[in-house]
C-alpha cells in the first residue's frame, strides 16, 4: 500500500463539537449501543482531563516516529492526534519536544497505542495524553508510514475526521456517519439519567424503578429476615 500524508479532510463543525463537549465517554458509548470504545489498556497519564475533537491519524512503524513529525504539519487547532504502530511498539514515540510542538499547533491531546516518555514534563505542561506504555527507549526517524489513513488504534477503526472523546473513563470514537444520531441518543440518555436521579432523590430505589424484583425472583434469590432463617434453610 502506498504510504502517504493526507493534508486535508472534512472536520466536524464547531457547533457539533461543542454539543459533544457537554457529554462524557460512558454516555456516548452506551448511546451507541455499547460500541466505539478504544482498548482500556490505553490510559491517561493525568486525571480530570477531557478532550473531544476530530482525529488526525498516524500509523508508524514500531520504534520510528518520522510520521508523527509529518503529522504535526497538517494538524489544526482543536485536533486530537491518534497514533498507532505497525507491530508491537512500546518505545517512547513522543516526549516533551513533540508535545511542545503540538501545543504550538493548538492540538488538544494525544491518544497513543504505544509508548511515550518525558511523562513528568508533559504533566507539567498540562497536555492530555492517553497511552499504553511509558518507556524511556527512543525511536528512529527513518521509516515512512501514513498520516490520515484509516487506522486501528486500541482495536477501534478510526478515520481522519471521526470524533474522538477521551476522559478518565476511557476513549470512544464516533464515526462520521453517526454524528447526529449518536448526539441525539446521548442527549436522550442524559435526560433519562436526570429523571433517574430525581427518582432517587424522591426516595425511590433502583430495585423498583428498574423492575428488578422479578429478575431476582427468576434467579431464585430468596429473602430472609434473620441469619437463623438462613441457617435453617441450609443456604449459608
CATH number of residue 31's parent domain: 3.50.30.40
On whether residue 193 sits in a domain, the answer given is no
Do the strands 151-153 and 156-158 form a parallel or antiparallel pair, or are they unpaired?
Answer: antiparallel
Taken in order 205, 211, 212, 217, the sign of the CA dihedral is positive
Both 210 and 182 in one domain: the answer is no
User: Do 31 and 128 share a domain, yes or no?
Assistant: yes
Domain region containing 26: 4-188
Q: Do 122 and 234 sit in the same domain of this protein? A: no
Residue 199's SS3 state is helix
CA 200, CA 68: separation in Å to the nearest integer? Answer: 49
Shared domain for 127 and 226, answered yes or no, is: no
Answer yes or no: is 200 within a domain: no
Q: Are residues 60 and 137 in the same domain?
A: yes
| E runs forming strands in the chain | 4-5, 43-44, 51-61, 80-86, 92-94, 109-116, 129-134, 146-147, 151-153, 156-158, 163-167, 170-174
Q: What is the pLDDT of residue 234?
A: 65
Give the pLDDT confidence of 63-74 residue by residue, as tens digits.
999 999 999 999
Q: What is the DSSP letter of 162?
A: -
Number of structural domains (the chain) is: 2
- Tell whether 117 and 164 lie within a shared domain: yes
pLDDT digits (tens, 9 = 90+) for 180-227: 999 999 999 999 999 999 999 999 999 999 999 999 999 999 999 998
Residue 150 sits in the same domain as residue 213 = no
**pLDDT band for position 235 (50/70/90)?**
low
Mean pLDDT of 4-15: 97
Q: Are 168 and 68 contained in the same domain?
A: yes
Supply 224's cell numbers. 430472609
User: In terms of domains, do 126 and 210 share one?
Assistant: no
Instruction: Give the position of cell 486500541.
Output: 154
Report if residue 197 sits inside a domain.
no
Amino acid at each position: 500500500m502506498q504510504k502517504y500524508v493526507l493534508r486535508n479532510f472534512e472536520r466536524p463543525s464547531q457547533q457539533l463539537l461543542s454539543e459533544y463537549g457537554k457529554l462524557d465517554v460512558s454516555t456516548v458509548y452506551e448511546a451507541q449501543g455499547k460500541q466505539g470504545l478504544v482498548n482500556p489498556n490505553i490510559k491517561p497519564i493525568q486525571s480530570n482531563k477531557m478532550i473531544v475533537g476530530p482525529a488526525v491519524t498516524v500509523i508508524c512503524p514500531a520504534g520510528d516516529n518520522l510520521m508523527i513529525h509529518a503529522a504535526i504539519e497538517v494538524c489544526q487547532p482543536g485536533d486530537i492526534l491518534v497514533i498507532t504502530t505497525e507491530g508491537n511498539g512500546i518505545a517512547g514515540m513522543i516526549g516533551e519536544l513533540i508535545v511542545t510542538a503540538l501545543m504550538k499547533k493548538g492540538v488538544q491531546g494525544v491518544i497513543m497505542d504505544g509508548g511515550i516518555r518525558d511523562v513528568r514534563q508533559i504533566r507539567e505542561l498540562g497536555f492530555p495524553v492517553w497511552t499504553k506504555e511509558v518507556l524511556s527507549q527512543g525511536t528512529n526517524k527513518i521509516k515512512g508510514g501514513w498520516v490520515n489513513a484509516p487506522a486501528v488504534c486500541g482495536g477501534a477503526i478510526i478515520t481522519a475526521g471521526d470524533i474522538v472523546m477521551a476522559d478518565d473513563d476511557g476513549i470512544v470514537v464516533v464515526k462520521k456517519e453517526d454524528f447526529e444520531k449518536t448526539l441525539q441518543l446521548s442527549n436522550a440518555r442524559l435526560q433519562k439519567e436526570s429523571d433517574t436521579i430525581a427518582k432517587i432523590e424522591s426516595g425511590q430505589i433502583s430495585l423498583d424503578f428498574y423492575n428488578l424484583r422479578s429478575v431476582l425472583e427468576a434467579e431464585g434469590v430468596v429473602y430472609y429476615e434473620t441469619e437463623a432463617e438462613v441457617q435453617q434453610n441450609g443456604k449459608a
